Amino acid sequence: MGLLDGLLGHGSDAAPADVARELDGMLVPGETVEVAFRVLRDLMVFTDRRLILVDRQGVTGRKISYLTVPYRAITSFSVENAGSFDLDSELKVWVSGRPDPISRTLRRGADIRGIQRAIAASLR
């Protein structure tokens, strides 16, 4: 991911094994990371059980906010693919109890199908 993509907030795929190591101690035994995206220091992680949003705050990034969304709380989601002239895709996830969707911008080439698979498989 280039610096410009990061500054614009575009996410890029992150290796699930690397993300699992980074979230060591947070994942429950047997929980696996299926798809993950990194936007600068932040992460959007889809496991086989939940969605985890990691928000590093401040200049040093020492303050970290974790938002866990169980898949059962997801009421709907949308994924907009990058078109011919678009440089990015957009993911929106609506969660019960929240008026506005959780929205993230992903750069072209992100595993959009992987996101759809991860969410849809968990909503069965």
Which domain does 7 fall in, by range?
A: 3-122
Which residue, 62, 74, 72, 61, is CA-closest to 101?
A: 74
CATH number of the domain enclosing 16: 2.30.29.50
- Give the span between the Cα atoms of 61 and 75, in whole angstroms: 31
pLDDT band for position 2 (cuts 50, 70, 90): very low
Q: How far apart are the first and last CA of the chain?
A: 33
pLDDT tens figures, 50-88: 999 988 887 776 788 899 999 889 998 888 876 666 567
pLDDT band for position 95 (cuts 50, 70, 90): very high
Q: Is 4 helix (H, G, I), strand (E, B) or coil?
A: helix
In the numeric block, the tokens 């678009």 are attached to 86
Q: Please tell me the pTM assigned to this model.
A: 0.74
Domain count, the chain: 1
